[in-house]
Amino acid sequence: MMASDMVSSTFPWLSLAIFVPIFAGLLVLALGRDDRANFTRTLALIGAVASFLVTIPLYTGFDPSTADLQFVELTPWIQTFAVNYHLGVDGISLWFVLLTAFITIIVVLAGWEVIKDRVAQYMGAFLILSGLMIGVFAAADGMLFYIFFEATLIPMYIIIGVWGGPRRVYASFKFFLYTLLGSLLTLVAFIYLWNVSGGSFDIKTWHDVALPIKPQILIFLALFMAFAVKVPMWPVHTWLPDAHVEAPTGGSVVLAAIMLKLGAYGFLRFSLPIAPDASHTLSGFMITLSLVAVIYIGLVAIVQKDMKKLVAYSSVAHMGFVTLGFFIFNATGMEGAIMQMISHGFVSGAMFLCIGVLYDRLHSREISDYGGVVSVMPRFVTFFVLFSMANAGLPGTSGFIGEFTVIMGAVQYNFWIGLLTATALITGASYSLWLLKRVAYGPITNDNVRSMPDLSGREFFIMAVMAIAVLYMGVYPKPFTEVMHVSVDALLQHVSVSKL
């Protein structure tokens, strides 16, 4: 997006990526009924698979040698205010489009037997949410981005509020209010940018507007309110544990794997390139908040008694790596941060799937209710060990790639910041292994554990697919990194040039 030219496409692949899942979701809502639940689930799975298939040409046809937007679609929409239906992806956004479509298939399969009431509404909400999230990553128009960004709140609010736990109404309201209130200042910033750019909502045009330092700082802080809540950064992270604990398994997977990335992506697409001088000025502030998340929230995760809360807090710590990588302003750190975003989608999603498997059998998330699970569920524990190791950053897994690269970038920036960041490898191992030990090993202290069946064929397939993704990215990260190199370099070059 830093370059002046854009690579147009003769076929609307991005529109298909957005609207195929939305249309499929509406179709499921229209045709699906609880009295024919298998038909409803099958229709949802077909829609999810079709949604993923239309994203594959985005990868196969992507040119990694340019930082220009590719697969561009540009159609006038609200001409009075110069709002355009403007789509495009670059090396930064491409993988998140594919990740969103991939995770949607996993979520549909994960809820196949678990969700028995309002099946059509459940599946339809996730499909529509998938299309809206892809719209966030593909939008090249500021107002279009804002519409997609805010619209994602509605399906997730419904998912938590309808299919969540006992405190689901409280959690869904907290989620909605935190994220909505944070976004209102962003709308003010967008309107200001529209005004100073000569009446344009084109994001690329905003990147090229030269602003004095004071307006840059105000814009940065306005955008920070929305993106920091969404990441979420400390101290505006408190909505996340509640949302995760009350959300159904599929809701937790999508929250962790995709929705947290919307805020991090916003920093890359808006905060850094629009307010580069403010980004440098406030980098110490951002690095400090990131280190607090990495270190302090990692310690908070260790003492959790609820499995979902533990993984939720670990997500805050892992996303601290992401924001840290952005604001140390070197290619190693930024590429590591983007890799961490992708890896976190696989690893945290897999961890919540594992917790969902246990919850479906015992209807408890309390760690103390388990123990000795390996004796009755050896296949499950095999996957649980792998994902826990990845969550701890074990070499050979995707969890290691992002964290290690960010640490190396941090060392290049400042040795002591790199050293503080590296302490997360200790806390990460602590809470991951402590969770694994108490749940999977030791004597069986709860008789209900003895009757827990091992993975079904459907569950084994889901776990195997996630395991392949975690291991493939950990062993051979090149396909992930080569796509983003040029776009990251272009962004850093843009940010390094003062607008003053």
Percent of the chain with pLDDT over 70: 97
Distance between CA atoms of 110 and 241, rounded to whole angstroms? 21
If you average pLDDT over residues 70-82, what whole number do you get?
84
Distance between CA atoms of 367 and 453, rounded to whole angstroms? 18
The predicted-structure confidence for 91-107, as pLDDT tens digits, reads as follows 888 999 999 999 999 99
Are the CB atoms for 297 and 234 separated by under 8 Å?
Answer: yes
If you average pLDDT over residues 47-71, what whole number do you get?
89
- Tell whether the model's pLDDT for residue 9 goes beyond 80: no
If you average pLDDT over residues 287-303, what whole number do you get?
88
Bond from prior residue into 235 cis (ω within 30 degrees of 0): yes
Residue 260 lies in a domain: no
Mean pLDDT for all residues in the chain: 86
The predicted-structure confidence for 148-205, as pLDDT tens digits, reads as follows 988 988 888 888 888 877 778 888 878 888 777 778 888 888 898 888 888 788 888 8
Distance between CA atoms of 332 and 307, rounded to whole angstroms? 33
Residue 438 lies in a domain: yes
The predicted-structure confidence for 456-476, as pLDDT tens digits, reads as follows 888 899 999 999 999 999 998
Nearest to 454 by CA among 369, 383, 351: 383
The predicted-structure confidence for 370-411, as pLDDT tens digits, reads as follows 888 888 889 999 999 999 999 888 888 988 888 888 999 999
Residue 328 lies in a domain: yes
In this predicted structure, which of 3-7, 8-12, 258-262 has the lowest mean pLDDT?
3-7
pTM: 0.89
Are the CB atoms for 301 and 310 separated by under 8 Å?
Answer: yes
Are the CB atoms for 497 and 275 separated by under 8 Å?
Answer: no
pLDDT of residue 98: 93
- Tell whether the model's pLDDT for residue 311 goes beyond 50: yes
Nearest to 258 by CA among 355, 344, 146: 344
Nearest to 263 by CA among 150, 402, 171: 150
Are the CB atoms for 110 and 98 separated by under 8 Å?
Answer: no
Residue 345 lies in a domain: yes
Distance between CA atoms of 52 and 55, rounded to whole angstroms? 5
Are the CB atoms for 84 and 77 separated by under 8 Å?
Answer: yes
- Tell whether the model's pLDDT for residue 333 goes beyond 50: yes
Range of the domain at 359: 282-495
Residue 333 lies in a domain: yes
Distance between CA atoms of 227 and 206, rounded to whole angstroms? 18
- Tell whether the model's pLDDT for residue 422 goes beyond 90: no
pLDDT of residue 499: 54
If you average pLDDT over residues 468-490, what whole number do you get?
89
Are the CB atoms for 270 and 202 separated by under 8 Å?
Answer: no
Residue 422 lies in a domain: yes
Predicted confidence band of residue 347 (pLDDT cuts 50, 70, 90)? very high
Distances (CA, A) of 396 to 6, 389, 450, 492: 37, 10, 33, 29
pLDDT of residue 1: 41
pLDDT of residue 202: 84
Residue 152 lies in a domain: no
What the block records as the tokens of 294 is: 């990495």
Q: Which residue has the higher pLDDT, 27 or 242?
A: 27
pLDDT of residue 498: 58
pLDDT of residue 472: 92
Q: Which residue has the higher pLDDT, 371 or 291?
A: 291
- Tell whether the model's pLDDT for residue 279 goes beyond 70: yes
Residue 316 lies in a domain: yes
What the block records as the tokens of 77 is: 């929409």
pLDDT of residue 497: 62
Distance between CA atoms of 149 and 35, rounded to whole angstroms? 34
CA dihedral (361, 364, 369, 370) in degrees, to 10, reads 40
- Tell whether the model's pLDDT for residue 5 goes beyond 50: no
